[in-house]
Amino acid sequence: MEAKIQSLDQELNKFNLETNLVKLKSLELERISYETPKCSAEADKVVEEVILAGQDLVCELCKSKGIEKKCKGDWDLKLHISKSHKRK
C-alpha cells in the first residue's frame, strides 16, 4: 500500500499545475483514497462498549429449566431461541 502511495506521489511531482488539472486532481484523489482514516478516542470507546455489551447473553428460557446457555450477542440468542424453543 505504501508503495502505491509513493508511486502516486512521484506521478504528482511530474505534473505541472498548468498542464492537466483534471489528471492532477484525479491522482490527488486516488492518493487520498489509499490513506486510512484515524478513529477518534470517543469512537473507539463507543465501539468497545457496544462489543462488550453484546457478549455472553443468557437464554432466560433455558435458565428457568436449570440449564445455562450462553450466546454471543443478540443475533445468536435469537437463533438459539428459534431453534431450541419451537412451539409444538
Q: Is the pLDDT of residue 26 over 70?
A: yes
DSSP designation for 59 = -
Q: Which of 32, 30, 8, 11 is nearest to 20 (CA)?
A: 11
pLDDT tens per residue across span 29-60: 888 888 888 889 998 898 888 777 656 777 88
Q: Is pLDDT above 90 for 5?
A: no
How is the chain split into domains, by residue range? 2-33, 52-84
pLDDT at 18: 59
Checking 79-88 for CB contacts under 8 A at 24+ apart, the result is 84/59, 85/61
pTM: 0.35
